[in-house]
Amino acid sequence: MTSLLFILALGMPLGLLFGCASSPIRRGMAVWLWLAPLPALALVAFAEPNAAWALGNERFALHFVLDAPARILLGVAALLWSMAGIYAASWLRGDIEQSGLPVTWLMTLSGCVGVFLAADLISFYFLLAVLSIGASGMVLQGQSAEAQRASGIYLGIALLGEAFLLAGLVLLAAATPDDSLLIRDAVHFFFSAKEGLLGWRWEHVAPLLRLESRVL
């Protein structure tokens, strides 16, 4: 049951996004946007505490987890995305020129859901990039000079930030014992290393860090 909920939460936006490769489907996708976040809302409502799911095998797998901070943030985000989808359907009704919005909308939603659930460095970075690219496309809607300029600035800042983030994640992953790519292991190692220098204790910073990692 838990695996199915994770698959639907992550797969529904991606499935609809791939469906947009067809022009007729893309033009009619606006009326279905509100459905895309509902599996994520179902995951929040019905999954057991600290539910986890891995996509892959023993050699390589992407890990996802629904801990308490993720449950709160994902629940609120899914509800807001669904409400936004209802509004988008009425806003885009009959507007053929805006048929590209569902693509960027679904891309941003896919990244948003994935970032809240990601439990390893690779999936977190990849889904954050998907979110950033999709969001820049949403800013571009309207095709005006102002929209193009704003989208370019947004994308440039996002890519610059992700470049620094990638460098930090690579250094953190290289220093983490046992070559673990799990976020909790990397962050645990980081604060354990700082414990002697700054007097921090892992049991003090862990709850705050789990919330911060989901917000970021």
**Structural domain count, the chain:** 1
Alpha carbon 35 to its chain's center = 17
Q: How far apart are CA 53 and CA 62, in angstroms?
A: 8
Q: What was the pLDDT predicted at 45?
A: 92
Domain containing residue 146: 2-215
Q: What was the pLDDT predicted at 10?
A: 93
Q: What tokens does 91 get? A: 């806003």
Q: What was the pLDDT predicted at 13?
A: 93
Q: What was the pLDDT predicted at 195?
A: 45
Q: What was the pLDDT predicted at 211?
A: 45
Q: State the burial class of residue 99 (Cβ atoms within 10 Å of its Cβ: 0-12, 13-18, 19+).
A: middle
Q: What was the pLDDT predicted at 210?
A: 47
Q: How far apart are CA 10 and CA 128, in angstroms?
A: 14
Listed in sequence order, the residues at least 6 apart from 94 whose beta carbon sits closer than 8 Å to its beta carbon are none
55 - beta bridge partners?
A: 62
Q: How many helices (H) and strands (E) does the chain have?
A: 9, 2
* Residue 108 CB neighbours (<10 A): 21
**Local confidence pLDDT in tens for the 216 residues of the chain:** 789 999 999 999 999 999 988 888 888 888 889 999 999 999 999 999 889 999 888 778 888 999 888 899 999 999 999 998 888 877 776 565 556 788 889 999 999 999 999 888 888 888 988 888 888 887 777 667 777 787 788 778 878 877 877 777 776 666 666 666 676 665 555 445 444 444 444 444 444 444 444 444
Q: What tokens does 23 get? A: 């022009």
- Contact 25/16 with Cβ under 8 angstroms? no
